[in-house]
């Protein structure tokens, strides 16, 4: 079995005085794509925010290749190797595609490394090279999602956290986004992906975790979940 790139044990976190996650434990093997699914508002995005240091770890532990992340500031977590591609992308609308990509490399001072990463991103996402000088505000939803992923790749990093990449997109655009994610996995990237629809990751994810009310209620291969009608109906509405 591959080494756990990311190991989470007994994670408790939330907002103000309310706990949202009440004891999450999961491992993300090196080179794997693992997906977390579940109803809206039950802690999926909270999990990614906790890993990336945007929320405090109240109890439990988060380790990246054995290194403790809990307690680090977000920029320290990023420097350690966690890349967070947030829900909705959060691009800089009045910056060009090229400028948005460069913002992903803000922790890197070596210009040769930045150029190499940019070449790799534009090779993986050739449409971004075509839109290089275009303002982010003028892009389609699918193109914005690609820039968000590309900006994340510009950070380098060891583990990518991708939050609901299909949110708000037309079906044909969702297919294009998942083609990119499949290429990321094929290139050896380690990915923790949040998604609402388990069918979208059935042939892509190595494992899937079903999260409900701040706890993981089921874990296993994606196709096993799709065969469990009672689970799908209870937690995901069918």
CA distance 21 to 10: 9
What pLDDT score was predicted for residue 207? 96
What pLDDT score was predicted for residue 23? 94
What pLDDT score was predicted for residue 2? 64
Judge whether 154 and 117 are in contact, CB under 8 Å.
Answer: yes
Per-residue pLDDT of the chain (238 residues; tens, 9 = 90+): 567 999 999 999 999 889 999 999 999 999 999 999 988 888 999 999 999 999 999 999 999 999 999 889 999 999 999 999 998 778 999 999 999 999 999 888 999 999 999 999 999 888 899 999 999 999 988 899 999 999 999 998 899 999 999 888 888 889 988 999 999 999 899 999 999 889 999 999 999 999 999 999 999 999 999 888 888 888 777 5
Contacts of 237 (CB under 8 A, 6+ apart): 39
* Overall size of the chain counted in residues: 238
């Amino acid at each position: 079995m591959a080494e756990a790139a990311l190991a989470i044990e007994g994670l408790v976190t939330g907002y103000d005085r309310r706990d949202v996650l009440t004891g999450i434990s999961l491992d993300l093997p090196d080179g794997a794509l693992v997906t977390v699914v579940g109803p809206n508002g039950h802690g999926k995005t909270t999990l990614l925010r906790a890993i990336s240091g945007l929320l405090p770890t109240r109890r439990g532990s988060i380790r990246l290749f054995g290194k403790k992340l809990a307690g680090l500031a977000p920029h320290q977590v990023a420097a350690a190797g966690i890349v967070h591609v947030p829900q909705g992308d959060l691009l800089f609308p009045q910056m060009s595609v090229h400028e948005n990509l460069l913002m992903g490399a803000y922790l890197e001072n070596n210009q040769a490394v930045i150029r190499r990463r940019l070449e790799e991103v534009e090779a993986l996402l050739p449409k971004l090279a075509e839109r290089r000088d275009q303002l982010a505000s003028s892009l389609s939803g699918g193109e914005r999602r690609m820039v968000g992923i590309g900006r994340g790749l510009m950070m380098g990093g060891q583990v990518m956290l991708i939050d609901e990449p299909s949110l708000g997109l037309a079906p044909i655009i969702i297919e294009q986004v998942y083609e990119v994610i499949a290429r990321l996995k094929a290139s050896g990237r380690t990915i923790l992906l949040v998604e609402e629809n388990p069918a979208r990751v059935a042939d892509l994810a190595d494992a899937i975790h079903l999260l409900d009310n701040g706890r993981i209620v089921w874990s296993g291969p994606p196709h096993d979940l799709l065969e469990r009608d009672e689970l799908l109906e209870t937690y995901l509405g069918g």
